[in-house]
């Protein structure tokens, strides 16, 4: 059965609308990239990162990951370098790479920020990074490396708990010493009072005997 002219015209108009949206998005992204390049040449690294960050929202996972990675790298050259923001945007880029199944670039992005998050007690970020890297190594057949990644959050948590317990035990020890010292001083005061009372009794008894 042949399609009616109205349905064909509506489908063609919807295709044209979609093509216009795609073209508008591409032109907008290109304009933002040119704007970011201008600011980068001027040494405005923070503005460059902000423009690229704005550009990534309308893109698919692959292009968004590339834009996020460039936005993160611009922050490294800022004065002073925004290391924590760099790590955050790089992790977002890794998530985008992972969403479009480009695992190698995702792992590369995560490994770049291990030195930033490692040992800073940002537990959730570290757990996410080590979990993704461990899973990648496990899928690649490197069980030893995967085990080392999976163990690191657990070891960090245990050492943190032990350090906390060590600090608390020192606190309890100081409190115990203070209480022991307080009880010792109270016992000393009671003993001195008893000695004074005994001396007074001896003095009064000796004075009574001399008067008799």
**Six-digit token string for 150:** 């999976």
48 and 61 in a single domain? The answer is: yes
Question: Would you place residue 25 in the very low, low, confident or very high pLDDT band (cuts 50, 70, 90)?
Answer: confident
Task: Kindly report the number of other CB atoms within 10 A of residue 82's CB atom.
Answer: 19
H or E element in which residue 206 lies: helix 143-211
Across the chain, how many H-helices and E-strands are there?
8, 0
- What are the pLDDT digits (tens) for 71-130? 999 999 988 988 888 988 998 998 899 888 888 898 888 888 877 766 655 667 777 788
Residues 65 and 112 in one domain: yes
Residue 190 lies in a domain: no
Number of domains in the chain: 2
User: Does residue 20 form part of some domain?
Assistant: no
Average pLDDT over residues 156-165: 51
Given 117, 146, 162, the domain boundary residue is 117
Residue 155: what pLDDT?
A: 61
> Are residues 112 and 58 part of one domain?
yes
Q: Is the pLDDT of residue 67 over 90?
A: yes
134 and 112 together in one domain: no
* Exposure string for 1-25, b = 16+ CB within 10 A, e = fewer: eeeeeeeeeeeeeeeeeeeeeeeee
């Amino acid at each position: 059965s042949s399609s009616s002219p109205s349905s064909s015209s509506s489908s063609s108009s919807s295709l044209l609308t979609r093509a216009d949206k795609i073209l508008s998005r591409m032109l907008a992204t290109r304009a933002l990239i040119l704007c970011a390049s201008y600011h980068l040449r001027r040494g405005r690294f923070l503005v460059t990162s902000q423009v690229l960050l704005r550009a990534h929202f309308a893109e698919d996972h692959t292009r968004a990951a590339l834009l996020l990675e460039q936005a993160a790298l611009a922050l490294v050259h800022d004065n002073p370098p925004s290391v924590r923001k760099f790590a955050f945007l790089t992790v977002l880029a890794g998530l985008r790479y992972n969403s479009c199944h480009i695992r190698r670039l995702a792992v590369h992005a995560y490994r770049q920020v291990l030195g930033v998050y490692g040992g800073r007690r940002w537990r959730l970020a570290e757990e996410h990074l080590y979990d993704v890297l461990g899973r990648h190594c496990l899928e690649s057949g490197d069980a030893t490396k995967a085990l080392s990644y999976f163990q690191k959050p657990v070891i960090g948590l245990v050492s943190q708990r032990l350090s906390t317990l060590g600090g608390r035990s020192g606190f309890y020890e100081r409190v115990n010493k203070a209480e022991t010292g307080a009880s010792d001083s109270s016992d000393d005061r009671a003993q001195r009072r008893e000695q004074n009372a005994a001396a007074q009794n001896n003095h009064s008894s000796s004075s009574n005997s001399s008067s008799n």
